[in-house]
Structure 1
Amino acid sequence: MHQSPRSKTSLFAACIASVGVADAHAGPVEAWGLMRETAIEVCKPQGQHHYLARLVCPDRSHPAFERSGNVGPCHDLSADTQPGEITRLTIAAMEYRPLEAGEVDHHMVDRYELTCGPQTSELYLDMYHCDAPVPQAAPAGFSIAN
């Protein structure tokens, strides 16, 4: 089904607006990628898949991975965020615009389920960072192939 850019913008804005009140806690560095607020920054769905394909499990195999859904923005909007601001954030994300200096990241975050043998874990990725270098580090419990 084809959606117009306007309907995609409305859908994205509805997702942003429905999430709730701000949580300023960004989480500890050792939790990088293991929680929504510390999502790994990549570029587009292809960047998510490329990054995940480079991860290495403790047994030296590569994890199987599957997207399990969108979990809302990296950082929630404040309760008083105006509709015009939601629209601006939505359009900026859809165009993969870089964040302004000091701007809070409200990009939508995807959760992936990774399987290494009998172990399953979750990893969070933010695909709206096309201005950032490709991550060269792995979250806790994984290493990365170059």
Structure 2
Amino acid sequence: MRHPAPSRTRITTLIAAALLGASASPALALDVETLVATGGRASGDDLARRISAARAFPLGSKDNPVRVALPSGQHAYLSHLRCSNGARPTFGRIGSFGPGPYDSIIDGYRVVCPGISEDAMLFMDMYHPEHRETAAPPGFTLVR
């Protein structure tokens, strides 16, 4: 059963309750579970519209971050990237860059290809457990 993403007000309430040690009701537990799974992102038809609109931008950009599940999904995806010269890139997380096009926080990764002078910055949204990205950003290929 899919649950709508909690509002920013609800997220703030959940965080405050957790910090203050408030007792959790079943509804609160469900909202916390949803928050962890979705990162507060858009859902349902709204999410589908946003994904469609994001396709107008290059994959891996701030406007079309690579959708993955959790930090392990970010690393798995990046480990399957290959540079234009076929080499395996090195990568490192730069940090969080605020809400992306799906309202969840996006992360930026510096991607370095050996033998290529220009580094790439790829943006990823780790709050998409139901999605497995099969495309590569411009200038890269993806091996499985």
- % identical equivalent positions: 31
Instruction: Report if aligned partners of 1:39, 1:124 keep a CA contact under 8 Å in 2.
Output: yes
1:112 aligns with 2:125: no
- Counterpart CA distance in 2 for 1:70 and 1:46 is 16
**2:135: which partner in 1?**
137
Q: Is the 8 A contact 1:74 1:109 kept in 2?
A: yes
- Aligned 8 A contact 1:32 1:39 in 2: yes
Residue 122 (structure 2) aligns with: 123
The corresponding residue for 2:100 is 74
Note the residue ranges of structure 2 that are not aligned, 5 or more in a row: 1-15, 20-31, 41-49
Q: Contact 2:78 / 2:91 at 8 angstroms: preserved in 1?
A: yes
Distance in 2, matches of 1:73 and 1:145, equals 29
Structure 2 equivalent of residue 42 of structure 1: 68
Scaled by the length of structure 1, the TM-score of the pair is 0.60
Cα deviation for residue 6 of structure 1 reads 2.7
> What is aligned with 2:18?
6
Q: Does 1:63 align with 2:89?
A: yes
Larger Rg, first or second structure (1 or 2): 2
Q: Which has the higher contact order (CA 8 A, sep 6+)?
A: 1
- Could you give the per-residue CA deviations for residues 22-45 of structure 1, whole angstroms, max 9, x where no partner exists? xx9x55635111x21210100000
Which structure 1 segments of 5+ residues have no match?
A: 17-23, 76-104
Contact 2:57–2:63 at 8 Å: present in 1 too?
Answer: no
Secondary structure of 1:59's counterpart equals coil
Tell me the equivalent position of 2:45. Answer: none
CA RMSD of aligned residues (A): 2.6
Distance 2:112 2:139 in 1: 12
The residue aligned with 1:98 is none
Which amino acid is the alignment partner of residue 121 of structure 2? E
Inter-partner Cα distance in structure 1 for 2:54 and 2:129 = 23
Deviation at 1:119, TM superposition (A): 2.4
Task: Give the distance between the partners of 1:107 and 1:36, measured in 2 at CA.
Answer: 12
Moved over 6 A (4+): none
Q: In 2, distance between residues paired with 1:30 and 1:36?
A: 9
